[in-house]
Amino acid sequence: MSRALLNQKTSSRRARRRDGRRIGILRAAARIFRDRGFAESGMRDIAEAADLSPANLYHYFSGKDEILYFCQDRSLDLMLNALARSRRGSDGLAGRLRQVLRAHAQAVLDEVEGGAAHLAVDALPDPLRRKIVAKRDRYERGLRRLVIEGGRRGEFVDCDAAVTTRAMLGAINWSATWYRPGGEWSASAVADMIASYLVRGLTAPTDAERIRER
């Protein structure tokens, strides 16, 4: 094996190890943020929970702002990836929308990116906050386009896409405030239930249902 290739392998292994370590830290940080709230959590608490010295923690993250940013940025990447996949899909809009909402809920409920960290956008200092808000807006626009497209094709009921999209975002984001890992349902089961419920609300009721609802 050439020396260059060997170096490359070593450095990519090192990068993987570093990433793995960062994920471990995020998991510990998410737990602390959830238990104490972001404002009350210190780097010292996070280091302790991640079984690191504070100095070692600073080797991976410059501060808790960077940890929070990393959590939110990862969540949004997962959500935007699901959106990109849904655009390439060929099946009905309901199925595609359900996949996206499930990925979103999963990101919110996940032990690593999820929980309090997902919602604490306002806790970020300004340049980081602006980046997250822009990314979040991109996601919302993409979701709204799916709702509009489903309406155009007659797969979804006629509704205000902006209001309905925000109702969806709310139902999912709010789950960070009540879901606790280790309870009756896994994160993935809850994500499934919420996504199915939210998609059902867009599919047109039959006449019989319309009468029953009066």
Residue 171, φ and ψ in degrees, nearest 5? -55, -40
Q: Are 119 and 132 in contact (CB under 8 A)?
A: no
Q: What is the distance in angstroms between the CA of the first residue and the CA of the last residue of the chain?
A: 75
Find the binding residues for a copy of itself in span 136-175 (CB under 8 A).
Answer: 155, 157, 159-160, 163-164, 166-175
Q: Going residue by residue from 35 to 74, which x/- string records binding to a copy of itself, judged by CB under 8 A?
A: ----------------------------------------
What would the two tokens of residue 154 be?
């007659």
CB of 80 to a copy of itself, least distance (A): 20
CB of 115 to a copy of itself, least distance (A): 14
Q: Which stretch binds a copy of itself (CB under 8 A): 11-19, 25-33, 68-76, 90-98?
A: 90-98
Give the integer Cα–Cα distance in Å for 30 and 108.
11
19/160 with CB nearer a copy of itself: 160
What would the two tokens of residue 89 be?
């899909």
Give the integer Cα–Cα distance in Å for 53 and 140.
39
Is residue 99 within the footprint of a copy of itself (CB under 8 A)? no
Q: Going residue by residue from 172 to 201, which x/- string records binding to a copy of itself, judged by CB under 8 A?
A: xxxx-xx------x----x--xx--xxxxx
Is residue 202 within the footprint of a copy of itself (CB under 8 A)? yes
Q: Which stretch binds a copy of itself (CB under 8 A): 11-19, 21-29, 58-66, 203-211?
A: 203-211
Helices (H), the chain: 3-36, 43-49, 54-60, 64-88, 93-109, 116-119, 126-152, 161-178, 187-200, 207-213
Beta-bridged to residue 156, according to DSSP, are 203
Binding footprint of a copy of itself on the chain (CB under 8 A): 91-92, 94-95, 98, 155, 157, 159-160, 163-164, 166-175, 177-178, 185, 190, 193-194, 197-206, 209, 212-214
